[in-house]
Amino acid sequence: MSASCQSCLMPFSKDPGVRESEKYCSYCFKNGELCYKGDDLKEYQNICYTNMVAKGMNKFQARVFTFLIRFAPRWKKANRRKD
Ligand SMILES: [Zn+2]
Protein backbone atom coordinates (compact mmCIF):
# COMPACT_ATOMS: atom_id res chain seq x y z
CA MET A 1 0.00 0.00 0.00
CA SER A 2 2.31 2.71 1.26
CA ALA A 3 5.44 2.90 -0.84
CA SER A 4 7.29 5.34 1.34
CA CYS A 5 8.54 5.57 4.88
CA GLN A 6 5.88 6.53 7.41
CA SER A 7 8.40 8.49 9.40
CA CYS A 8 10.44 10.45 6.84
CA LEU A 9 8.42 9.85 3.63
CA MET A 10 11.43 8.64 1.68
CA PRO A 11 10.22 6.40 -1.16
CA PHE A 12 11.34 2.83 -0.52
CA SER A 13 12.60 2.71 -4.10
CA LYS A 14 15.23 5.29 -3.04
CA ASP A 15 16.24 3.42 0.08
CA PRO A 16 19.84 2.22 -0.43
CA GLY A 17 19.78 0.06 2.70
CA VAL A 18 18.05 -3.15 3.70
CA ARG A 19 14.67 -2.46 5.24
CA GLU A 20 13.70 -4.26 8.45
CA SER A 21 10.21 -2.83 8.64
CA GLU A 22 7.35 -2.63 6.19
CA LYS A 23 6.49 0.83 7.43
CA TYR A 24 9.86 2.49 7.81
CA CYS A 25 12.97 2.94 5.72
CA SER A 26 16.37 1.54 6.64
CA TYR A 27 17.42 4.89 8.12
CA CYS A 28 14.46 5.33 10.43
CA PHE A 29 14.23 1.75 11.65
CA LYS A 30 17.35 -0.18 12.61
CA ASN A 31 18.12 -3.19 14.81
CA GLY A 32 14.46 -3.73 15.54
CA GLU A 33 13.59 -0.22 16.64
CA LEU A 34 13.03 3.33 15.47
CA CYS A 35 16.24 5.36 15.46
CA TYR A 36 14.49 8.47 16.67
CA LYS A 37 12.11 7.58 19.47
CA GLY A 38 11.04 11.04 20.51
CA ASP A 39 7.95 12.85 19.35
CA ASP A 40 9.50 16.23 18.62
CA LEU A 41 8.90 16.86 14.95
CA LYS A 42 11.26 19.86 14.80
CA GLU A 43 14.09 17.90 16.35
CA TYR A 44 13.46 14.98 14.03
CA GLN A 45 13.43 17.31 11.02
CA ASN A 46 16.79 18.73 12.07
CA ILE A 47 18.26 15.23 12.27
CA CYS A 48 16.88 14.31 8.85
CA TYR A 49 18.07 17.53 7.26
CA THR A 50 21.58 17.03 8.62
CA ASN A 51 21.61 13.44 7.37
CA MET A 52 20.35 14.35 3.91
CA VAL A 53 22.96 17.05 3.44
CA ALA A 54 25.65 14.74 4.80
CA LYS A 55 24.61 12.18 2.19
CA GLY A 56 25.24 14.72 -0.53
CA MET A 57 21.75 16.03 -1.24
CA ASN A 58 21.69 19.67 -2.20
CA LYS A 59 20.43 21.97 0.52
CA PHE A 60 17.36 23.23 -1.32
CA GLN A 61 16.11 19.71 -1.98
CA ALA A 62 16.92 18.70 1.59
CA ARG A 63 14.83 21.61 2.90
CA VAL A 64 11.86 20.60 0.74
CA PHE A 65 11.99 16.99 1.93
CA THR A 66 12.44 18.14 5.50
CA PHE A 67 9.33 20.30 5.23
CA LEU A 68 7.31 17.40 3.84
CA ILE A 69 8.13 15.18 6.81
CA ARG A 70 5.34 16.86 8.78
CA PHE A 71 2.84 15.11 6.50
CA ALA A 72 4.19 11.63 7.21
CA PRO A 73 1.74 9.32 9.04
CA ARG A 74 4.02 9.17 12.05
CA TRP A 75 3.87 12.92 12.65
CA LYS A 76 0.32 13.82 11.78
CA LYS A 77 -0.90 13.13 15.31
CA ALA A 78 1.89 15.11 16.90
CA ASN A 79 1.03 18.12 14.75
CA ARG A 80 -2.59 18.02 15.72
CA ARG A 81 -1.75 17.87 19.39
CA LYS A 82 0.44 20.96 19.24
CA ASP A 83 -2.02 23.17 17.35
ZN1 LIG B 1 12.44 6.89 6.96
User: Is there a domain that residue 70 lies in?
Assistant: yes
Task: Read off the pTM.
Answer: 0.83
- From the CA of 7, how far away is ligand 1's center (Å)? 5
Q: Are 61 and 27 in contact (CB under 8 A)?
A: no
Residue 1 domain-assigned (yes or no): no
Distance between Cα 82 and ligand 1 center (Å):
22
Say if residues 72 and 8 touch (Cβ distance below 8 Å).
Answer: yes
pLDDT in tens, 20-75: 999 999 999 999 999 999 999 999 999 999 999 999 999 999 999 999 999 999 99
In a domain, 4, yes or no: no
Residue 60 located in a structural domain: yes
Rounded-to-integer distance, Cα 29 and Cα 10, Å: 12
Residue predicted with more confidence, 82 or 64 = 64
Q: Is residue 6 part of a domain?
A: no
Domain count, the chain: 1
Residues at Cβ < 5 Å from ligand 1 ion: 5, 7-8, 10, 25, 28
